[in-house]
Amino acid sequence: MSGLKHITIEQNVEFLKRYAFFERAAMRALAGWLPGVPEWDAKNEIGLHVWESADAVDVIYNRLRELRCHQPERNISPALPVVAAALDKSANTAEVIATVYLVIKKLLLEALRIHPEVTWSNFDNPTVKLTEQVIPALEQQVAWAEAFLPTIIDRYPDWEIWRDYVAGLLASDGGINGVGAKSSPPDRLEGHPLLLPWMQCQRMPDWPIFKPEEDIQPDRKTDPEGYRLWRFKHYTNEMTAAETLGSILWMTPEMSWEYQHNVARHLWDELRHSQLGQIRIQQLGLNVADVPQVVQIYNVMMTLPAVEQYALLTTVLEPNGMPEKTTNREHWEALQDEISAAAVSYDWSDENFHVRWGQKWTPVLLKTYNYPETLEEIRVRMEAWMIENTPVKMQQKHAHHEY
Ligand SMILES: [Fe+2]
Ligand SMILES: [Fe+2]
């Protein structure tokens, strides 16, 4: 044992409650900001970190339950929701990265590293294990942010002001664990409006935008190479599904933690589907920056409330898309294109869970947000809406059972 004074089991619970709170606040801010970040590489990292943050929260909640704390946000310091709201109120990519990663996650990492010396490690072994589980992802996240931020700050002047403000808010509540020296809270900064939820998803200004009328689907049988390239280009645009889930997650904070954990994973899966498209088109000689971005599907879905977006995605688009994936796997296996077949087989596997989550959570969303409809009624309404409003012909074809 080191010479430090150790915390009691009750203090340990309070520390863990704060760690979970900050990871959850990071998850929420990153999910809300996913559509608002125009830098493609940052979007890809942030989508992964939404899931890693959610998973860290889940691990800490499990330990809190073992320590008989079942309401981890009960009696939390009133300063903490103020810090969380300030993360959301970042104005651009630089401020998001500076506050979420280089203030919150960096200090959280430091706190977790010394936690085994602060708690009674010999008796609190499961919490020591927890720190070993959570630290590696946090280290990678912070290292990424430290390397990436300098590459974009030219575009975002004065980002340090918001970083220092958020750091000041945190310090005024005694830091990550709440027992540090408390400074007086910083003066409120004017002119920092909340930009969430993003009504339009952002891309770098020089990236091409999808034109629905120019989207011709090549015939799978007579033009297999054309079809393959076309299909994987559409995969890269599943980024918009991840962005849609980011906004849905941000707009439904009243829902249970289990739902949020599932949506965070759903978000990362859609990001992975975009990445499998990106990997495949690059192997086939295309650059992702040259693939027209289907921003329209995110933008038109944002005209709907979160519940309807979730029902549209999980009870219409995803189940309708399943048969095509089976057909494509058989098609690529027949052509001995094992890479394409492997990619779609994992996509198909993920989609099974997305549809299952949709069946589980859509009824809860309907109830929570006072919809009079049943699951089947909203499915029918959303399918009719989709056929009318989607810019993607492939989604209409799937609705008409053409694969
Ligand atoms: Fe997907
Ligand atoms: Fe999906």
Q: Is the pLDDT at 1 greater than 50, yes or no? A: no
C-alpha of residue 350 to centroid of ligand 2, in Å = 7
Q: Please, where in the chain does CATH 1.20.1260.10 lie?
A: 212-399
C-alpha of residue 322 to centroid of ligand 2, in Å = 9
C-alpha of residue 202 to centroid of ligand 1, in Å = 20
C-alpha of residue 138 to centroid of ligand 1, in Å = 26
C-alpha of residue 129 to centroid of ligand 1, in Å = 33
**Start-to-end Cα distance in the chain:** 65
Q: What is the fold, at CATH topology level, of the domain defined by 212-399?
A: Ferritin (1.20.1260)
Q: Is the pLDDT at 4 greater than 80, yes or no? A: no
Q: What pLDDT digit, counting tens, does each position of 251-287 carry?
A: 999 999 999 999 999 999 999 999 999 999 999 999 9
Q: Which residues surround ligand 1, an ion (CB under 5 A)?
A: 238, 270, 273
- Of the candidates 154, 37, 42, the one whose C-alpha atom is nearest the C-alpha of residue 91 is 37
Q: What is the fold, at CATH topology level, of the domain defined by 9-171?
A: Ferritin (1.20.1260)
Mean pLDDT for 215-227 is 96
Q: Which ligand lies nearest the alpha carbon of 314?
A: 2
CA atoms of 143 and 397, how far apart (whole Å): 44
Q: Which ligand lies nearest the alpha carbon of 316?
A: 2
C-alpha of residue 233 to centroid of ligand 1, in Å = 13
Helical segments of 184-302, H only: 224-236, 239-251, 257-283, 295-301
Mean pLDDT of the chain: 96
C-alpha of residue 361 to centroid of ligand 2, in Å = 14
